[in-house]
Each structure stands twice: as structure tokens, then as C-alpha cells.
């Protein structure tokens, strides 16, 4: 497993990370707490030493469970968490978005409670969770600097969510040289990542990108087919049927990435992301140990050649030669899509 630095922070992350929202929640299928922790421990053994969670996952439960194992592996693990959703005063209603609270005083208290649940003294990467651009105020930026000076965090990041905006938010994080920017990005959903590659190139920022949903909710790792019945409560069920139907057709046009058996499609999807220089780590959603075995190895498979990258770019530009709606063209952003449409973009990825 290769590792990379986040920005200029000195924080090292494994190129394949563990997205721990499956720990303490049932949004990607139900599992026992013991099974979830066993998966985390197994992933760490396979070199997946970047673990990304959030305080709102299971309303603190994900952090609490990770806190059971972190003391024993602390020197080997880079732990990231997120703050900004006020689950303390608001019950969860299905998969709906909870009210956010980005006041500096609230965020400081949230960090203290995350440290307690995780049973650690320092959070390696603290991310603002789905903050709108007008919520990333000078007071919030000052707080992040203070927490770093106090040794409570080592790096600052922003985790973008699909339903509240991404363009202005991510640009601000890059311009402010946040150490990391987490985003939805994969071969089938490229608008977001492509835009931020341009922003990084334009500004010369050191911000690292951390893509999530690299398999586009199960299509690119071939675990979700058009006829797959997703379990009740499975978060992937939010996508329309058309998404999975067209996605499977697009997948067939990407078979060349398997390179004669050198990569699986699941590995190729991660390797494509890692072939972009600003990408430091990719956080797939592991469901089984077999997933871990396969995807952790994506750090070792051949990066894509220039020819392969160009072919993917051409396919995406032509919508993979599929002339029908995939059901995902609605604009959603913190400013009603105006920032996206004014930038000449016409699609927003979702997780």
C-alpha cells in the first residue's frame, strides 16, 4: 500500500482509505457492530490505514465503536472525522439531512466530544461536514487554526455533500489551502473532480483531493446491476432505476480498463482516480473482507496510461455513446445551481 501526504500538513494517508460511515449505521446494509469493527481491523492489517468517519454517523456511534480499537493501533492509523451537523438536538428522520451548525463555539464543543468518543488526543484530519460557502466564515477558519495550534487537530479539510452544493464551497477550500477536500468523484460522475483539478491548477494550491463513491454506488465494482434488489434502508436505493440501467451500459464501454486481467473493474475505478496527481486517497465503501482484499490492492495495480486516460475522457465527453436520460441531471447547489450553470456545467454528482 502506497501513502501520500495531505496538502502540506505532514499527515500521511494510505492511497486506499476506509470510509467508516458503514460503522455504526445501516445505510449501506445492516451488519453487527462486531462485524463492522472486524472489517476495520482487517482493513488496517491490509494496509488501509486511513480511516474516515464523522460524528453524525450513527449519532456518534461510529466514533464510539472506532474508539474501542484505536488505542491499540493509534500509531498505525490516520483518523479523520467530520463535524457540523447538530445531531445532539435533532433526531434522525430517515436519510434526510439534519440541521447544520457551523458556529465556531459549537464546532469546538463538537471536536471535544469527538475526541472523547474516539478516545484519542488528536484528530489527524478534521473536516467541516457539508459546509455551505457562507458558513466557512473567518471565525471558523480562525477556530481551525486554533485547534491546530492546540494540538487537537493536525490537518483541516472540507467534506462536500451533493445536496447542498459543491462548486463555490470546494473552490473556497482550495483557495484557502485546506489540506484536503473530500468529494464524490468517479469515472461515471466526473464534473466535480474535473472542476477542482482546474481550480488547483489555476491557483497552485497544495490541497489534496479525497474522492469517495469511486464505484458509483456499486455499478463500477459490478455489485449492483439493473435487476439488483437493494435491501430496505440501503442508501444506494435513492438513485433512479435509469441510473443503474444506463450505468451498466456505460460499464461495458470501460472494459478496456481491465487491461487483460491486470486490473478488475473495481480496482481500475480506484486506479483511475489515483492517476490524478492531486488525489491522495480514495475511500470506497467496503462491505466484505473480499472487497478489502480486492480494492486495497488497487494501490499496487498499474496506474492508467495517458492513452487510457484520454480514452476515458473522450467516452465521458460523449456520454459513453448512450443517448438517453440517466435520471441524474437535476442541479442542486447552495445557490440554486447558479454557480454551476454559470460555470458551464450541467450535471451534479450525488452519492
Q: E strands of 142-245, at which residues?
A: 153-159, 180-184, 208-212
- Distance, in Å, from the CA atom of 102 to the CA atom of 107, rounded to the nearest integer, reads 6
- 60-111 per-position pLDDT tens digit: 889 999 999 998 999 999 999 999 988 778 776 555 667 789 999 999 999 9
Q: Which string of DSSP letters, residue by residue, matches 246-264?
A: HHHHHHHTTGGGGGGGTS-
Per-residue pLDDT at 351:
34
Task: Check pLDDT > 70 for residue 235.
Answer: no
Reported confidence tier of residue 333, pLDDT bands at 50, 70, 90? very low
What average pLDDT score do residues 270-276 get? 97
What pLDDT, on a 0 to 100 scale, did the predictor assign at position 25? Answer: 61
- All residues at 6 or more sequence positions from 25 whose CB lies less than 8 Å from its CB, including other chains: 57, 58, 61, 62
Angle at CA of residue 212, ends 209 and 216, nearest 5°: 130
- Do residues 282 and 211 touch, judged by C-beta distance below 8 A? yes
Would you give the DSSP letter of residue 14?
E
CATH tag, 3-343: 3.20.20.100
Q: Are strands 12-14 and 3-5 parallel, antiparallel or unpaired?
A: antiparallel
Amino acid at each position: 500500500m502506497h501513502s501520500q501526504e495531505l496538502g502540506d500538513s505532514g499527515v500521511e494517508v494510505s492511497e486506499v482509505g476506509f470510509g467508516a460511515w458503514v460503522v455504526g449505521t445501516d445505510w449501506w446494509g445492516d451488519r453487527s457492530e462486531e462485524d463492522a469493527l472486524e472489517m476495520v481491523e482487517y482493513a488496517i492489517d491490509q494496509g488501509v490505514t486511513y480511516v474516515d468517519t464523522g460524528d453524525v454517523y450513527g449519532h456518534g456511534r461510529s466514533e464510539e465503536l472506532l474508539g474501542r480499537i484505536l488505542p491499540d493501533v493509534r500509531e498505525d492509523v490516520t483518523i479523520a472525522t467530520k463535524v457540523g451537523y447538530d445531531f445532539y438536538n435533532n433526531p434522525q428522520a430517515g436519510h434526510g439531512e439534519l440541521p447544520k451548525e457551523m458556529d465556531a463555539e459549537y464546532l469546538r464543543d463538537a471536536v471535544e466530544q469527538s475526541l472523547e468518543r474516539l478516545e484519542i488526543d488528536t484528530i489527524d484530519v478534521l473536516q467541516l461536514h457539508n459546509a455551505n460557502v457562507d458558513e466557512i466564515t473567518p471565525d471558523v477558519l480562525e477556530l481551525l487554526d486554533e485547534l491546530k495550534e492546540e494540538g487537537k487537530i493536525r490537518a483541516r479539510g472540507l467534506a462536500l455533500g451533493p445536496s447542498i452544493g459543491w462548486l463555490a464551497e470546494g473552490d473556497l477550500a482550495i483557495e484557502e489551502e485546506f489540506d484536503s477536500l473530500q468529494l464524490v468523484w468517479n469515472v461515471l460522475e466526473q464534473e466535480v473532480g474535473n472542476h477542482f483539478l482546474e481550480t488547483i491548477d489555476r491557483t497552485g494550491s497544495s490541497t489534496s483531493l479525497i474522492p469517495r463513491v469511486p464505484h458509483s454506488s456499486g455499478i463500477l465494482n459490478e455489485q449492483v446491476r439493473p435487476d439488483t434488489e437493494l435491501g430496505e434502508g440501503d442508501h444506494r436505493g435513492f438513485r433512479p432505476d435509469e441510473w443503474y440501467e444506463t450505468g451498466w451500459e456505460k460499464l461495458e464501454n470501460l472494459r478496456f480498463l481491465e487491461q487483460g486481467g491486470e486490473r478488475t473493474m473495481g480496482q481500475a475505478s480506484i486506479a483511475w482516480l489515483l492517476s490524478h496527481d492531486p488525489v491522495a486517497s480514495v475511500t470506497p465503501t467496503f462491505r466484505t473482507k473480499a472487497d478489502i482484499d480486492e480494492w486495497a490492492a488497487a494501490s499496487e495495480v498499474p496506474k492508467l496510461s495517458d492513452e487510457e486516460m484520454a480514452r476515458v475522457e473522450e467516452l465521458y465527453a460523449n456520454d459513453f455513446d448512450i443517448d438517453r436520460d440517466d435520471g441524474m441531471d437535476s442541479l442542486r447547489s447552495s445557490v440554486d445551481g447558479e454557480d454551476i450553470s454559470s460555470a458551464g456545467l450541467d450535471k451534479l454528482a450525488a452519492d
